[in-house]
């Protein structure tokens, strides 16, 4: 039966809860764990449908990861749900030594990532999680951009064998994909064709990059190409290199520190295979603050206007690209 796609703005964490429940219906080996945040993470949907396969460990995230390791060792497929700040900050050691080191088939469903979490403030706004998980050996990192892609990402996660970190958000965000995608594919999709500059975004910044591209076209006559990176690690470089070869300059956009996240991943590809200017929109050497989610995004320039302004700066340094990339597609 086809999945009913959403059309109105809705949070990606809702897609996680809905798809997790669907996985429970399809696969009896799927189990879900939560650290006393099931309503917020939306794993509560699974818990109500399959109470015998749902484990609330309380405010003990490290224990949750270790419990998941035991379940995985007995043939279960655990989905561990909590806020991104706790999944990667409080339970890092257990994720590293228990899950990644042993290459266990465990999925970490981390909700409330980034500063769009809003009112909970800097203590809960995790802006280093992608860097931590990208640096971890054997860990796949997935950041879907809307409900429909998040639903597919969660369903598809069951088919993969490696440990996986999936980041979801708190606020309702516009729909980017009209239908639920059939697959994440290589994890990099061209959403808008362009020739002047590449806007490479992930998560909540994808719809903003699309708005920035519209603004650049309307106000500056600039045709921006927009790429959605849903799999940040391993980063499939082929589509990115094709875009950089065409445009010769890029801006990355992420709701995360520019250190260790998407910006660094794209810059590594460019530096090694096709050097062009890569500007970045993201968090600097700073923590978040308390306020509404959108007010926080505005404060740090994580907006369509911020992306467009950064693109205008990048275009000043645009070189003349006269050669193809040095090497073929790589994964990093």
The residue extents of the domains of the chain are 12-167, 188-316
pLDDT (mean) for 106-128: 97
Tell me which CATH code domain 188-316 carries. 3.40.50.920
- Residue whose token pair is 């740090």: 300
Residues 178-189: tens digit of each pLDDT:
999 999 999 999
Catalytic residue among 4, 28, 52, 61: 61
Nearest C-alpha neighbor of 201 from the set 148, 284, 279: 279
Is the separation of the CB atoms in 241 and 192 below 8 Å? no
* CA nearest to 274, candidates 301, 234, 310, 246: 246
Q: Select 12-167's CATH number: 3.50.50.60, 3.40.50.970, 3.40.1160.10, 3.40.630.10.
A: 3.40.50.970
Q: Is residue 322 scored above 50 in pLDDT? A: no
**Is-catalytic flag, 61?**
yes
- Identical fold at 12-167 and 188-316? yes
Whole-angstrom Cα distance, residue 111 to residue 84?
6
Model pLDDT for residues 187-214, shown as the tens digit of each residue: 999 999 999 999 999 999 999 999 999 9
Give the predicted TM-score (pTM) of the model.
0.94
């Amino acid at each position: 039966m086809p999945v009913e796609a959403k059309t109105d703005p809705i949070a990606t964490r809702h897609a996680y809860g809905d798809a997790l429940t669907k996985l429970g219906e399809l696969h009896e080996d799927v189990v879900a764990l939560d650290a006393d945040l099931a309503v917020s993470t939306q794993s509560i949907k699974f818990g109500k449908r399959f109470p015998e396969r749902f484990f609330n460990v309380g405010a003990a995230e490290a224990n949750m990861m270790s419990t998941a390791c035991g379940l995985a060792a007995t043939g279960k497929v655990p989905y561990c749900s909590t806020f991104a700040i706790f999944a990667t900050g409080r339970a890092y050691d257990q994720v590293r030594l228990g899950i990644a080191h042993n290459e266990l088939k465990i999925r970490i469903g981390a909700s409330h990532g980034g500063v769009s979490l809003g009112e909970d403030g800097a203590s809960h706004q995790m802006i280093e999680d992608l860097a931590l998980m990208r640096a971890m050996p054997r860990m796949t990192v997935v950041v879907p951009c809307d409900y429909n892609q998040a639903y597919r990402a969660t369903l598809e996660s069951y088919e993969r064998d490696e440990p996986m970190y999936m980041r979801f958000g708190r606020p309702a965000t516009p729909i980017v994909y009209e239908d639920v995608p059939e697959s994440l594919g290589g994890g990099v999709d061209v959403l808008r064709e362009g020739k002047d500059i590449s806007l490479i975004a992930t998560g909540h910044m994808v719809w903003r990059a699309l708005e920035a591209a519209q603004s650049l076209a309307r106000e500056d006559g600039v045709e921006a190409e927009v790429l959605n990176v849903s799999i940040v690690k391993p980063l499939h470089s082929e589509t990115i290199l094709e875009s950089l070869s065409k445009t010769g300059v890029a801006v990355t956009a992420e709701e995360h520190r520019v250190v260790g996240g998407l910006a660094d991943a794209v810059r590594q590809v460019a530096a090694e295979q096709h050097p062009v200017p890569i500007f970045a929109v993201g968090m600097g050497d700073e923590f978040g603050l308390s306020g509404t989610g959108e007010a926080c995004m505005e404060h740090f320039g994580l907006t369509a206007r911020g992306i467009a302004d950064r693109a205008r700066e990048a275009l000043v340094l645009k070189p003349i690209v006269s050669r193809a990339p040095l090497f073929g597609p790589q994964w990093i």
